[in-house]
Structures are given as structure tokens and as C-alpha cells.
Amino acid sequence: MQSENRIAAFEQACVRSALIIPRWLPGSTSVFWYRREVSNDKFVFFLVDCDQGHRSLAFDHEKLASKLSQDGPLLQPDALPFSWIDIERSAECIRFKYQDKIWKFSQDGSLTEWEGNFYEGHFDPGCEELASPRSRESAAITLVNQTTKPIDIKWISNDGEARFWGPLQAGRSRVIGSWLHHFWRLELYKSVPRRSVAFQVKSRRFTVVIENSPLGLSLSCQSDPLVESELDKVSGQSRGPRGEPFLRSGNVWVRQPDGSENQVSFHGFSDNEFKDVYPSPDGQFAISMQCKPASKASLHLIDVMPQDQFPPKLMTEEYLRAGDNVELKRPCLFNLATRAEIPVDNSLFANPYAITSIGWSSDSQKYYFIFNERGHQHLRLLEINRKGTVKILVEEKSDTFVDHHQKTYFKLLLSTNEFLWASERDNWNHIYLFDLDDGKLKHQITKGEWNVRAIDFVDVEKRKLWVHALGVMPGQDPYYTHLVSVNFDGSMLQVITQGDGSHTWHWGPDRRFLIDTWSRVDSLPISTVRDAETGKEVVFLQQEQLSPDLEGEWCPVQRFNAPGRDGKTQIYGIIVYPRDLDETKSYPIIEFIYAGPHDFHTAKAFRPSTAFRTLADKGYIVVRSDGMGTNWRSKRFHDVCYKNVKDAGFPDRMAWIRAAAQSRPFMDLSRVGCYGRRGRRVA
């Protein structure tokens, strides 16, 4: 095998072997097993006891391989013919399936057939693929690929066609925008026969974990409890006899308990009809969105390789261009008992880009919603009371833009009449605590020159939250992800994850322990079990190692940071050398660029760098960095992109390349080129 192929295979194997999927024993919050791949098609099973701080082989692999080989083909201890084991809580034996039989292998070495129950793991076959319905409620899906291969993400369109959305690499996660009740397909890349599974978006924040299973792809889908549980409480369940509001011919009607129907609104027309009706829990009031439709605009594309025919064909889709009218929503209030509309002044939510319904308070006195102004310079949490009075509870405003897509977060705490809110008002994305009655700020919970990227968990009773933090560790790359816990009053802020790298983690039952894995582009993955309260390491699990046959051949990707255009703001990037680098020679520089302002794009955790290495081995120095205007640094850093996307961080990236060349004279600044694309083969 050529050296470059062996390096690619090694890096891929590192990602696979570092992937820990804990299988917690039934009824236990401290004991789990996992399967570790040691090389292609070779693996071993480990048993971990977090209370005892112990990791060991789950059973004697050599003895079991010998037992199974007595009446069949020769089996190797690291290539046993099953991928799932069922372990009793006492861990005195394991059970597994082999040759259509269930076997029991005890610690004393005895092997017998098992006639009892056999738990083969959670397997969700997904759902039937259906055309996605027309939906009016946006949703965010977090996809986590815990398989060993890339996943193709495909949206099942309104006409039932599977449309490719993008790839998801092994061991990685990403958030995609969707709509409630839409259908998606997840397909294992280049699998023969095709292995895929479909799911439906069931809530506004939805997490889907994709795993390998003995039966195929396995899905684990759940709503985000941080949001959905509170939304359910806000909207509430209607109590007592009431009318039931519904929509007919673009207007609001109400159906009485006796079956009679009465029209409530009379000014809903085809170009301004009522949609999305939200009744109060007591059934006396309702909010309905009156909507002016968006502009009709068509985008024409040519599919050069259609699946259903040989010649290319024309495709036409609706596509709003800059300046076209978006759908204009306006919440209207109705008294269902008197069948009268209550006037609501829309001056605080005029010209919306989007209005997001939160729901009614449990006492039916107030209705809450989020208003995002077109242009994204005002974002408000608003309430409408039963008299139609509109009040601002909290507002974000900016002379540039409010990052509504990445950084909007809210959580209503009904038991204490408070709410959590994300804001960049101090130049960094942090969480604030507000009073739900008057909208007054009570505390800034997180603070400092770092960002909250996401909320991991909120414990309302303990008044504590856990967040994904970027830049919280001084001296580390500010894009590295860490888990941080903090009390609602801002006290006792603690970094749970340790280690100079970017972290991912899996929670155990009852959130007592977590499996923490971290790495860098220049450091192979390390995994350990931590106490979820203190962050203390309780069990060391594993660390990936360089293959002996690659000593002297594999050179890790280099990290480099230097000031950008202003001479002080640090820009972070990576450098990839040719495998046979000769520092006495001069090499042209090729920069890979994707500078979209929605995220940062330079790799932080270890992952295969095959595409960059292949290019570098042709005689180039390959570089990549994130200049100003990209996301997840300070707001001032991000604001550079405002009405200036063409900037693309070029001044920062040029300064960064020049700084790198000062200590690397083999980088030829007279020969610099760049290219960019989005797709599967990006390193």
C-alpha cells in the first residue's frame, strides 16, 4: 500500500477506534460496556465500572474464541462473530447471538446455550418515508453520526423526492434547519446494499443519534427537554368545557361543545388569511396568525445527472431573492366566548422576518412569542395579554445584526416566573436571567471573553445549567468546545471537561458520569470518564496511538495563530506540508477557503485530512484559517461581515499567511492561490 493510502487508513481508523458508544447495564448508573475497534474488522469488548474506577475486558476473549472454534471455523479473539453482548448487572456472564442461537459465557469459562430473554439493544427502524407536509413551524435538528462512515443527509420534499442536503462525517454532529413534521432520510455513504433510515421531525428542537446496529442503522430520536417540556407547560392543556377554534376558508371559527359552529373572524382572504390557531388553556381565548403570502419567485436549475432518465432535465423551485416579500405574520387575538376580535397594536412587531409562537401562560392570561424584525436588527420576546396590550419582555438590538439563527435561546421557568435568554449585549454570547412579569434583568449568569455555543442541560430545581463553551480556557484555541456548569446566580462556574483540545461527551444515566473525548488536529483522541459534578477523572478509557509502521512518515497537521488585519486580534488556522518536505526548497501556497459568516470552518478536533494531504503531496503548502466576519468569536469579530460578505476575511488570512511564512522560509509568498467548495471531500 502506498504511504499516502496507509496514512489515510490510519487517520480513518483513529476516528473509528476513538468512537465510544456506552451501553449502560440495565438499572445501573455506573456500569457500561463498549466495543473498541482495534483495526479493520477487529475489535474487543470492554466493561467499565465508574464507581470502582475500573476498566477491563468484558470477558476472556481468547478463551471464548477457543470454545467457539471447537465445533466450527477458527475464530480470532479480536474478530468474534457478534457485535452485541448482553451483560447481567453482576457481570458474571455475557450473552451473545451466534449461528442463530443465544449463548451464555460465564467468567469461569463455561459456554452453554441460553433459553431466556436476550436484549439485543435499542433498534429503531425509523419511519416510512412520506412526502413532507406543508409546515409553518421552524425546527432545529441536531444530527450525531456515531457510525464509522459518512452519512448522506436527504430531505424528503413536499412532492416525495429525496433531495441531498449535505454530508455528515463519522464521529461528528451538525445542526440543520427544518420544519415541524418534515421527513428526512439518513443514508450510509456508498453502502451496498443501501443502508438508510428515515425519521420525522417531532418537535422544534430535535436530536437524532445514528448508530451501527446488528440489524442495520439504528436511530435514537428525542425532543430537546430544555425547550419542549417548557413549551408544553406554557401552552398547557385546556380545562373544562370550551369551544374548539379551527380554521375554515382562511378564517377562524369555533366549534361549541354542542356541535354548533360559529364564525369568529371575517377579514381573512386568500391573500391575507388566518393560519396557525393557538387556543388558551381555559378555552376562552385564541391567537391566530393572519398571514400575507410571500412573493412568488422561481429558480430554474438543470439536473445534469437525473436518476430517472439519461438526458439532463429542467428543475424549477420556488426561491425568494433578496428584497422579495417574505410571508408576513401578524398575531390576532379573539375572545371565543363572545366571538369577537380584540384589537392588538402591531407597532412592536411590524415588518417581521419571522414570528415564533411560544404559547400561552398556564393561567391563560398571557400569550408569548418571539419577533425577529426583517434586517435582523431587533429581536424581541413579546407578550399579549387578554386585553390586547403588547409588552416587550426583553429586546436585542444592534446597529449591525442580531445573530438570530445561531444564538437565539429562550427558556421559560414557569415555577419561578423567570426566563433564560441568550444575548451578545456585552460583545460575547452569554445567558441571562430575567423576570417574566416585568422583563427586568435579574442576573447575567455567564460572563467573560468567551461564548456559550449551546445549552446542554438546565436543572430548574438546583438552579444550575450546563453549557457548551467556546474559548473558556485561557491559553487554548478559542474555538475548542468545553462543558461548563454554573449556578443561575452566576456563581460556582466550573469547567467539567479537562484537556487542551476540543471536547465531545456522552452523559450517563441520571447524569452522574459522562464519557469525555477530546483531541486536536495535531493530537490523537483521548477518552475518559468524568464525575459530572466535579469534572474529576474517575476512569481513564483509552488514547489513540500512532501506528509503528508510520513512524517518520505521518506528520500531524500544524496549528498556527498570528494577528490579523488589526495587528492584535489572533487568527487561528492550520498548515499541511508535503510528506517529503524539503525545507531548502520553495513551495507555492494553496489556501482552502470557505468564509461563510454562519460558523467557523477550520478543523479543531482530530479528523482525516486526506484531501489536504493529497494536495500538499503534489508540491504545495496547504493552509486554512478563519478570518474576521466568521462566527463564534466576539460580536465585533463577527460584525465585520455586515453588508460586507465580499470581505471574506481576506485581510486577516493574508496577514496570517505572511506571519506563517516568516518562520517558514520555504513558503513562497510570490505564489499564493486559493480555492473553495462545500462537499464531502473537504478535509
pLDDT higher than 60, residue 231 = no
- Position 573 scores a pLDDT of 98
Cβ–Cβ < 8 Å for 14, 627: no
Q: What angle do CA 621, 624, 629 make, to 5 degrees?
A: 150
- Position 342 scores a pLDDT of 97
What nine digits make up the cell of 487? 449556578
Residue 118, strand partner residues: none
Lowest mean pLDDT among 300-314, 470-484, 563-577, 612-626: 300-314
- Position 249 scores a pLDDT of 94
End-to-end CA distance of the chain: 21
- Position 121 scores a pLDDT of 65
Which among 454, 379, 480 is positioned nearest to 446, based on CA atoms?
454
Cβ–Cβ < 8 Å for 498, 484: no
Sequence-distant (6+) residues with CB within 8 A of 555 are 577, 579, 581
Distance of alpha carbon 65 from alpha carbon 60, whole angstroms: 9
- Position 472 scores a pLDDT of 98
The CA distances from residue 391 to 103, 262, 422, 478, in Å, are 66, 31, 19, 38
- Position 237 scores a pLDDT of 46
The CA distances from residue 362 to 80, 230, 236, 277, 677, in Å, are 56, 11, 6, 17, 49
- Provide φ and ψ at 145, rounded to 5°: -95, 100
What nine digits make up the cell of 362? 398556564
Report which DSSP code applies to 133.
P
Lowest mean pLDDT among 35-49, 190-204, 497-511, 647-661: 190-204
Distance of alpha carbon 403 from alpha carbon 409, whole angstroms: 11
Residue 185, strand partner residues: 154, 198
For cell 453482576, the residue is 90
Residue 464, strand partner residues: 459, 487
Kindly report the length of the chain. 683
Cβ–Cβ < 8 Å for 638, 599: no
- Provide φ and ψ at 183, rounded to 5°: -110, 145
Sequence-distant (6+) residues with CB within 8 A of 185 are 129, 153, 154, 155, 156, 162, 196, 197, 198
Give the residue-averaged pLDDT of 270-291. 94
Lowest mean pLDDT among 3-7, 44-48, 117-121: 117-121
Give the residue-averaged pLDDT of 196-206. 85
pLDDT grade for 124, boundaries at 50, 70 and 90: low
What nine digits make up the cell of 611? 484531501
Question: Is 501 buried (19+), middle (13-18) or exposed (0-12) by CB count in 10 A?
Answer: buried
Tell me the per-residue pLDDT of 126-149, one tens digit each, with 9 for 90 and over: 778 888 988 878 888 888 887 778
For cell 423526492, the residue is 161
Q: What angle do CA 282, 288, 291 make, to 5 degrees?
A: 175
The CA distances from residue 673 to 385, 558, 587, 657, 676, in Å, are 59, 19, 12, 11, 11
Q: Where are the alpha helices (DSSP H) in 363-414?
A: 404-407
Cβ–Cβ < 8 Å for 386, 205: no
- Position 122 scores a pLDDT of 57
Cβ–Cβ < 8 Å for 211, 147: yes
Find how far residue 162's CA is from the centre of its chain: 21
pLDDT grade for 552, boundaries at 50, 70 and 90: confident
Sequence-distant (6+) residues with CB within 8 A of 429 are 403, 407, 422, 423, 451, 452, 453, 635
For cell 439563527, the residue is 405
pLDDT higher than 80, residue 210 = yes
Which among 311, 250, 309 is positioned nearest to 277, based on CA atoms?
250
Give the residue-averaged pLDDT of 422-446. 97
pLDDT higher than 60, residue 241 = no
Lowest mean pLDDT among 126-140, 562-576, 596-610: 126-140
Q: What is the mean pLDDT of the chain?
A: 89
Distance of alpha carbon 585 from alpha carbon 667, whole angstroms: 9
For cell 448508573, the residue is 29
- Position 177 scores a pLDDT of 85
